[in-house]
Structure 1
Amino acid sequence: MFRRRPPLPPFPPSALLVGGAARDWLRGVAPKDFDWAVPDPAAAAAQLAQETGGAVFPLDEVRGYWRVHAPGEIQHDFVPLPAEVTADLLRRDFTVNALALTADRQVLDPAQGQQDLRTKQLRMVSADNLWADPLRVWRAARFEVTLRFRLEAETERTVREVTTALASGRLSMPAAERIRDELHALLSHPNSALGIQRLEDLGLLSLTMPELREGRGMLQGGFHHLDVFDHGVEALHQLLARRPDADLPLRWATLLHDVGKPRTRATDPDTGRTSFHGHDRLGAELTSAVLTRLKLPAGDVRRAAALVGAHMVPLPATEREARRFVHRRRELLPDLLSLMLADREAARGPMSSPASRRAYAQGMDRVLAALEEQPAPPPPLLSGQEVMALLNTGPGPRVGEALRAVAEAAALGEVRSAQEARDFLSAWSRHAP
């Protein structure tokens, strides 16, 4: 039984509402992304933008694809109305997406997608359609999680066959940008950790992030009860349980935070203890490589890598250390704390105890208190020119070191005026290497 169906916006003249928007409306879910097939996409888009005050721009002027960003984060895409609507719908990926709705709410359903909606089944329209666009195998995993549907048996067999063909090179990989968009749609869902596991189960993770799955079966001991791979997935789950608003760079960093462990694993020949020294630094490099390969924006890549590189920093034991922690990592806060807490909560091995978790929470509280006390860095007390005059030197790395030392002293409350900063710098210059 479907839920009560939500209202729909006015239909453009002679338009069909197609694909996911029609599917969601039939499920009783209010769409936020509308796909319209219309006789004149440019005119329909311009009209909607005028009516809503939205922004209109072409997606592909040659093919006549237009988009409108309307208020309320609503998106409308307009494409030409096909000459053969049924044939067009039967070229789609899954039956639940091969649906169209007319202005008078008549449903066009040539692949019996409504029946699959009722049984919550994800069934391909045809095997040829999945082979024609291999990106659809990633979409299958995403829809399983986001729609909470199950893959029909024959569809799953075809997904695995396409995945095998991709792995062997018999089938060309989709563009990295398209895979990225599917992964982001999956990672944006509250149950994205389950989706990562499903990607692995279907063989898609090895095509997407082979570095991540290197941790499968690699036991850690100590604080950890899961292998490296499952720990990363569980950390993502723990993050989203506490930070459902976490942005994509933080989600990526949490999933990949231990990606450097498999390549840094070492065993002490005398004690037999396993260590992963330097996995944070290597993990930052691997995170950058993975996300760059997936064509994420450069700023997102840098932030995710920086979070991974900092996740092993010890929490402060005193208020002074907490102020230094905030000063040195301010640009990563509070996300770094969210990552560190998710990492800790995903580790329930023999060394983990209520006492160790309390001590960790106290360290977190010290950082949060210091951040609340000083939400922004203090204004600079000295200029570069003043530093050069005081040190009797010209431009160079030493000036930058001096400015950073003064800034940290100000953040710690050790200097509060320009004269105190000058006195501090005089003493610093005598002891700095």
Structure 2
Amino acid sequence: MFRRRPPLPPFPAGALLVGGAARDWFRGVAPKDFDWAVPAPAAAAWELAAQTGGSAFPLDETRGYWRVHAPDGRQHDFVPLPDDVRGDLLRRDFTVNALALTAGRQIIDPAGGQADLRSRRLRMVSEANLRDDPLRAWRAARFEVTLGFRLDPPTEAAVQRVAADLAAGTLPMPAPERIRDEMQALLMHPEAARGVLRLEDLGLLALTLPELREGRGLTQGGFHHLDVFGHGVEALHQLLTRFPEADLPLRWATLLHDVGKPRTGGTNAETGHTTFYGHDKLGAALTRGSLTRLRLPAAEVDRAAALVGAHMVQLPAGEREARRFVHRRRELLPDLLRLMLADREAARGPQGTLATRHAYALGLERVLAALEKQPTLPPPLMTGRDVMALLDIPPGPAVGEALRAVAEAQALGEVQTVAQARSFLLGQRKPGL
């Protein structure tokens, strides 16, 4: 049974509320954004902007698509009212989105979407519609997670056929930016890990993150009870369980943190244990490649790759080492700790004893305590000019090396004044510095 249906804003003249907004209203969920089909989109957009104090602008002037950003944070999109409303709805992706609502609260439902909403069933309007825009295959996986519905068997089979034809090149791939947007909408949901598994079931993960799939069936042993692929998905689940506010770069990094393992696997000649030496560094490079391919912003790519590259760093055994840990990785904290915790909690193999888990938790606590004690970098004690004058050296890498040494000594509490910094550098001086 759906909740009481929420109030709606005034309808523009002659408008229909369509698509996801009509779907959510029928479910008793207040729409976050509104899609309106109106006789005159530009006029309706300007009128709403004037009424609300929002901003109106064209999305596609040729097709008459307009958007209004309202002061309450909601978004209103306006498109031309079609001559054949029912026919237009029947060209949509899923029956639950092929709904329209009149100002009098009459529902136009040519595909049986209301019944599917009641049954929590995600059913395609037609396979031809899916093939007209193959991005709808990714949308199927996202809707399963975000709506809590389940694909009906014919629709699931059709999505799998679309994925197979995309892989074979007989259907054109959607633009990377569109796939990125679907993936990130899925990743932002608390059940994102389940969504990744559904992408794999549907044949879509191979088209999105083939590097991640390389870990399927690759056993690890030791601390791990899952294969490499399953571990990455479980780590994402652990992250979102503990840190639901995690941002997208951290979510990507957690899912992909072991993506380098399949290409670095080996065997220790002395112990016979499986090894993955260097998987963190290769994983960072693979993460960068994957997310660049999906057209993520460069800053988000950089952060996700840096987190993957640092996730194997040794936790400190004492207070001084904790201060050094914070100093050297401050820009990645506290997200790096969240990733490391999710990684450990996703590993339940035979070596994961209570004692090892306790020791790991203590290491995390030491870093958090050091970060709390020094949440920001202290002001630098010396400049490059100071270093060059003190050591009588020209500009170059040695100046940066000296500044980094002083900054670390300052973070560790070994120097606290300019005089101490000068003495420290003179005492550390060696050939080439």
Is TM (by shorter chain) over 0.5? yes
Alpha-carbon deviations, 1:225-258, whole Å to 9, x = none?
Answer: 0000000000000000011111110000000000
State the match for 1:393 in structure 2: 393
- Which digits, 9 at most, give the CA deviation of each residue in 1:341-390, with x for residues without a partner? 00000000000011111111111111111111111100011111111111
Structure 1 residues 358 and 53: alpha-carbon distance in aligned structure 2, compared to 1, 3 A threshold: farther
In the TM superposition, what are the counterparts of 1:410-421 in structure 2 within 5 Å? 410-421=410-421
- Show the 5 A alignment for 1:204-243: 204-243=204-243
Is residue 2:353 matched to residue 1:353?
Answer: yes
Matched residue type, 2:172: S
- Per the alignment, residue 141 of structure 2 pairs with 141
Give the Cα–Cα distance (whole angstroms) in 2 for the partners of residues 72 and 287 of structure 1. Answer: 37
Q: CA deviation at 1:404?
A: 1.0
Corresponding residue number in structure 1 for 2:257: 257
Count of aligned residue pairs for this structure pair:
433
Amino acid at match of 1:105: R
Task: Tell me the residue number matched to 1:337.
Answer: 337
Q: Point out the more displaced range, 255-264 or 26-35.
A: 26-35
**Displacement of 1:44 after TM fit?**
2.1
Which residue pairs with 1:69 in the alignment? 69
> 1:72 deviation in Å?
4.2
| CA–CA separation in structure 2 for the residues paired with 1:322 and 1:45 | 56
SS in 2 for 1:430: coil
Alignment of 1:177-326 (within 5 A): 177-326=177-326
What are the ranges of 5 or more consecutive residues in structure 2 without an aligned counterpart? none
Work out the CA distance in 2 between the residues paired with 1:264 and 1:55: 52
| SS of residue in 1 equivalent to 2:430 | helix
Task: Give the TM-score normalised by the residue count of structure 1.
Answer: 0.98
Deviation at 1:49, TM superposition (A): 2.7
Structure 1 position 270, deviation (Å): 4.6
Q: Which residue of 2 aligns with 1:94?
A: 94
**Unpaired runs of at least 5, structure 1:** none
Amino acid corresponding to residue 106 of structure 1 in structure 2: Q
Q: Root-mean-square deviation (CA), in Å? A: 1.3
Deviation of residue 155 (structure 1)? 1.1
- Counterpart Cα distance in 2 of 1:285 and 1:141: 27
Structure 2 length-normalised TM: 0.98
Instruction: Choose 69-78 or 415-424, whichever is displaced more.
Output: 69-78
Give percent identity, aligned residues only. 73
Secondary structure of the equivalent of 1:226?
A: coil
Q: Secondary structure at the match of 1:203?
A: coil
Paired letter, 1:21: A
Q: Distance in 1 between matches of 2:50 and 2:427?
A: 66
Distance in 2 (CA, whole Å) between partners of 1:139 and 1:429 is 61
Measure how far apart 1:300 and its partner are. 0.3
Once residues 131 and 395 of structure 1 are traced to their aligned partners in structure 2, the CA distance between those partners, rounded to angstroms, is: 61
3-state SS of paired residue (2:118):
helix
User: Per-residue CA shift, 1:77-103, capped at 9, x if unaligned?
Assistant: 121222221111111000000001111
- Mapped partners of 2:252, 2:399: distance in 1: 36
Maintained 8 Å contact 2:280/2:310: yes
Q: Partner residue of 1:121?
A: 121
- The separation in 2 between residues aligned to 1:66 and 1:198, in whole angstroms, is 34
Conserved in 1, the CA contact under 8 Å of 2:398 and 2:432? no
